Structure 1
Amino acid sequence: MRVPLAVTTSARPREELVTRARASAKAWGVPFFPRRSGEGIADWFDARAEALIVFGHDGVTLWDKEGHHGFHAGMAHLRRMRLAAGEGDTFVRVAELRKGDAVLDCTLGLGQDALVASLAVGPTGRVVGVEKNLALYALASAGMKTYAFGPDSCHVEVVHADAHEHLRTLPPRSFDVVFFDPMFARPGKAQPGFDVLRRFADHAPLTPETLEEGRRVARRWVVVKGARYTDDLRKLGLQPEPGSHFSDVVWGRVGPSEGSP
């Protein structure tokens, strides 16, 4: 019987790698499949698992029948470099992120914006990323554990949960910024890894009810990323913030709920 997700290792793994992979599989509640020396995994997708988290000597990779994507900073690395050099970042500007802030990323995905936020809020801040899909959660949580954040960043905490349900468990005004990047249909070619994200991410639209839960939890802003040339933000009652006319991405924000403690 084929399982939705399993864990394995690269070929010829060291014992330490096997131990770490087994422990992660147990923590995530998925099977661990030992891999024999020289054994490929291509046939496993027909018989054993729909997707695999592969622990390798060079990092953690999510595989399925259509391709694979390893955890890495991607464009977030360049954004972090620019931020460290004193240049601007649209997410940081719209959210007005400051040192010591607490940020809740409700749609973590591959963790790009969370990595930028971790540098913007610094070591005294806090960034929590919520991911509903188990495969993406596994990739992000394993990858964040080994990512070199450096002394100027806080670490990113990764939570496996539905964003709406998780928001309902949080006290009012418990995060400075709540962030949503729903899986809108964006035109043009996205950066590498976006195809993997599309296959695994939750495609349900952001609802007004979830937005209101975000407003209850936020102290400063709820920030929503949307697609240009769509009415994604308008449906939520948001107006796009000023930004580059050359970007396919638009940003909206709204303050906390009136009357929140």
Structure 2
Amino acid sequence: MTQRTRVPLAVTTSGKPEDSRVARARAAARQWGLPFIPRRKKEPLGPLLESAADAFIVFERESVSLWDQEGSFSFNPGMAHLRRLRILSGQVGGDDALVRVAGLRAGDQFLDCTLGLGQDALVAALVVGPSGRVVGLEKSLALHAVVSEGLEAYDYGPDSARVEPVLADSHAYLRALPSGSFDVVFFDPMFEKPKKSQPAFEMLRRFAEHAPLTSETLEEARRVARRWVVVKGSKYSDDLKKLGLEAEPGSHYTSVIWGRVPAR
């Protein structure tokens, strides 16, 4: 038997897949340029993680998940669901920091340059509504694959735009856009000094390919924005100061701080 060559990332299915799920997984593997590795009935994933791939995108019955030897992650709207419920109940204004700092309103076009788990993009999608647009950029193929599949299946409701996930490097994407393409451009770079976080965020840190936000990328974002460029940071880091941004006034009880700079 020929020994299987181990790869960094591959696609497979759950141990008891329906034929339609196998076909969907094979098609996605072709789309993403990844190998598809069939999984026998009830075959555990552990041995495949040791012999075939460092990580797997797994098409399961109800979802798509990302697995490595340290854990797993599947799309979950998380706190975005609660934030959207608050907005739907009429608590827009200062209740949600992203909405307040970005000055988001119905009909806006919002570019999320660091889609990650998709939570801020989902909040923006509800605020801009069906007449607006939300595009989310993700450079990591593994994260893009899981989150894009989750966003495709998400129940947005009639009052929300849909998030359009794009596999792209944010700097290259911004450079290719005409000036004034989006009302608000948003960044949530990796914090330099992360706190303890949920398992999903630990997976995000392992697979994310977000380089630190540079002044050059920030200037491209200012060119692309019509109103604001918004940057999320941590009060435990000097990320914003390095970019010449001052933290906007906010709650003293959160570790998240926000900076913004006007379009140019």
Q: What TM-score do you get using the length of structure 2 for normalisation?
A: 0.94
Identical residues among aligned pairs (%) = 63
Which structure 2 residues correspond to residues 176-255 of structure 1 after superposition, within 5 A?
A: 176-255=183-262
Alpha carbons 1:186, 1:248 under 8 Å: kept: no
Counterpart in the other structure of 2:135: 128
Counterpart in the other structure of 1:68: 72
Task: Tell whether 2:60 aligns with 1:56.
Answer: yes
Alpha carbons 1:135, 1:200 under 8 Å: kept: yes
Paired residue secondary structure (1:93): helix
CA distance in 2 between partners of 1:23 and 1:224 (Å): 36
CA-CA distance at 1:46 after TM superposition: 2.0
CA distance in 2 between partners of 1:146 and 1:23 (Å): 17
Task: Tell whether 2:26 aligns with 1:22.
Answer: yes
Counterpart in the other structure of 1:111: 118
For residues 49-83 of structure 1, what are the alpha-carbon distances to aligned partners after superposition, in whole Å with 9 as ceiling and x for unaligned? Answer: 11111111121111111100111101111111111
CA distance in 2 between partners of 1:146 and 1:158 (Å): 13
The code of the aligned residue for 1:39 comes to: E
Alpha carbons 1:25, 1:32 under 8 Å: kept: yes
Which structure 2 residues correspond to residues 141-160 of structure 1 after superposition, within 5 A?
A: 141-160=148-167
Corresponding pairs, count: 257
The code of the aligned residue for 2:80 comes to: A
Where do 4+ consecutive residues of structure 1 move more than 6 Å?
Answer: none
Counterpart in the other structure of 1:81: 85
Provide structure 2 residue ranges, at least 5 long, that are not aligned to the other structure.
none
Counterpart in the other structure of 1:166: 173
Counterpart in the other structure of 2:100: 93
Paired residue secondary structure (1:69): strand
Alpha carbons 2:125, 2:133 under 8 Å: kept: yes
CA distance in 1 between partners of 2:50 and 2:186 (Å): 37
CA-CA distance at 1:27 after TM superposition: 0.8
CA distance in 1 between partners of 2:215 and 2:113 (Å): 14
Name which of structure 1's ranges 223-232 and 182-191 shifts more when overlaid on structure 2.
Answer: 182-191
The code of the aligned residue for 1:12 comes to: K
Alpha carbons 1:187, 1:248 under 8 Å: kept: no
CA distance in 1 between partners of 2:201 and 2:255 (Å): 15
Paired residue secondary structure (1:115): helix
CA distance in 1 between partners of 2:157 and 2:37 (Å): 33
CA distance in 2 between partners of 1:86 and 1:189 (Å): 32
For residues 204-228 of structure 1, what are the alpha-carbon distances to aligned partners after superposition, in whole Å with 9 as ceiling and x for unaligned? Answer: 2100000001001000100000010
Provide structure 1 residue ranges, at least 5 long, that are not aligned to the other structure.
none
CA-CA distance at 1:184 after TM superposition: 1.0
CA distance in 1 between partners of 2:188 and 2:167 (Å): 16
The code of the aligned residue for 1:110 comes to: L
For residues 192-247 of structure 1, what are the alpha-carbon distances to aligned partners after superposition, in whole Å with 9 as ceiling and x for unaligned? Answer: 41100010112521000000010010001000000103211011010000111010
What's the Cα RMSD here?
1.1
CA distance in 1 between partners of 2:161 and 2:240 (Å): 30
